[in-house]
Amino acid sequence: MRLQAPPPIGSDERRARLTALAASMQSEGFAAVLLGPTTGLRYFTGVAWHPSERFTGALVHGDGRLDYICPRFERDKVGGLITVEGDILTWEEDERPSALIAGRVKGVLGLDDQMALFFYRALARTMAPERLADAGPAINRLRRRKSPAEIALMQHAKTITLEVQRRAWKSLKQGVRASEVESLIDAQHRAFGGSGNTFCIVSFGSDTSLPHGGESDRRLAEGDAVLIDTGTAVDGYNSDITRSYVFGEASAEMRRVWEAEKRAQAAAFDAARIGAACESVDAAARASLVKDGFGPDYRLPGLPHRTGHGIGLDVHEAPNLVRGDATPLAEGMCFSNEPMIVVPGKFGVRLEDHFHMTATGARWFTQPQASLDEPFAGVEPLE
């Protein structure tokens, strides 16, 4: 199968996002919202900027005006990244960007919740702290429901990663180091047009019982459990897929746990219905695990973390499929589904695929792992 990359997010969609943000400011009481060098900046303006001690970002005014803010020596670079029109305001090395921002805002300033604490403190020293407010909830309400263009980009990224997972499985041989597999995965992600690995966990043996892997660079041995969790990004939008299997013959215990994991993942998917609370999906996965003798709650052997997280420009975004998150599921929301089972000191099994909510219910981005012995059965290889 050949892949055709979807178009990147266009300037018209970004302008619509800015219009929606400006409209939300009225109900929130914000005169403006300040976006730092975060994925929020990329979401609304298309400018992707690596954070540093020098502030670069954008000020969105309640009337829809947009000011880009950057160091003077970065003006030409920032100007070359802009696809949504706005003024570029600059500050010199001996000046304070917080003073520049304060001078542009009359009223309450909503802050991007991903902004660095040191810059919040700089703003608080420049403006009265009561004029600073958290714009995170307002931003998330706009970001958590993905457009068809966003879903297409994530579908592309996840299709790439599933194929890369398949190739990693085919490449395994006794004695290979986890780091060698990570390098192969990175190269394959790049070969298919992804950003390379946005993250990569390759675990063998008892390291699979650690949800985020061990610290040693283990060699693969016959009979080892294998857990690979990785992702890439396309136009900033992320994939994140985990596969669990065995190098060699699986034990009866491994088969029992793998089947329980498969049932828990299916139970979570079935519970994902429009209007249902996010936490109900987590509850369904845990109820399935309890029936199979795991848990309850976060007890081990069992599921030590949430069932899933939101995803988009950030690998982990709110809302989450976890107890206490009562956010109603709505069309356009995208989540991981990964109710891992950990058997301490022995192995762990995590099957992770993602779904998005449609008007009629949940839809998989990638089909879940078919079996323990043939983990990529039914997956059409990419050319």
pLDDT reading at 215 higher than 90: yes
77 Cβ neighbours under 8 A, 6+ residues apart: none
Segment 327-360, tens digit of pLDDT = 999 999 999 999 999 999 999 999 999 999 999 9
Model pLDDT, residue 2:
83
Percentage with pLDDT > 90 across the chain: 98
Q: Mean pLDDT throughout 169-187?
A: 98
What is the rounded distance in angstroms from the CA atom of residue 125 to the CA atom of residue 103?
A: 13
Segment 65-104, tens digit of pLDDT = 999 999 999 999 999 999 999 999 999 999 999 999 999 9
Q: What is the DSSP string of 69-108?
A: EEEGGGHHHHHHH--S--EEEEE-TTS-HHHHHHTT--S-
Give the domains, in start order, of the chain with CATH numbers: 11-143 (3.40.350.10), 148-364 (3.90.230.10)
**How is residue 240 annotated by DSSP?**
-
Model pLDDT, residue 78:
98
Calculate the average pLDDT of the chain.
97
CA 17 to chain centre: 19
pLDDT reading at 168 higher than 90: yes
What is the rounded distance in angstroms from the CA atom of residue 383 to the CA atom of residue 381?
A: 7
Q: Mean pLDDT throughout 284-292?
A: 98
Question: pLDDT-derived band of residue 185, with 50, 70 and 90 as boundaries?
Answer: very high
What is the rounded distance in angstroms from the CA atom of residue 271 to the CA atom of residue 263?
A: 12
Q: What are the start-end ranges of the H helices in the chain?
A: 11-28, 39-45, 75-81, 97-102, 117-126, 136-143, 148-171, 178-191, 252-271, 278-291
pTM reported for the whole predicted model: 0.97
Distances (CA, A) of 375 to 171, 258, 259, 260, 283: 14, 11, 13, 16, 26
What is the rounded distance in angstroms from the CA atom of residue 286 to the CA atom of residue 302?
A: 9
254 Cβ neighbours under 8 A, 6+ residues apart: 225, 246, 347, 349, 372
Residue 78, both tokens: 């920032």
Residue 320, both tokens: 């989450």
Question: pLDDT-derived band of residue 258, with 50, 70 and 90 as boundaries?
Answer: very high
Q: Quick one: residue 193, left, alpha or beta (phi over 0 = left, psi -120 to 50 = alpha)?
A: left
What is the rounded distance in angstroms from the CA atom of residue 48 to the CA atom of residue 81?
A: 8
Model pLDDT, residue 1:
79
pLDDT reading at 383 higher than 90: no
Q: 263-273 burial, b for 16+ CB within 10 Å, e for fewer?
A: bbbbbbbebbe
Q: Mean pLDDT throughout 286-311?
A: 98
CA 36 to chain centre: 18
Site of tokens 């078919």: 370
3-state SS assignment for residue 366:
coil
Residue 116, both tokens: 């660095």
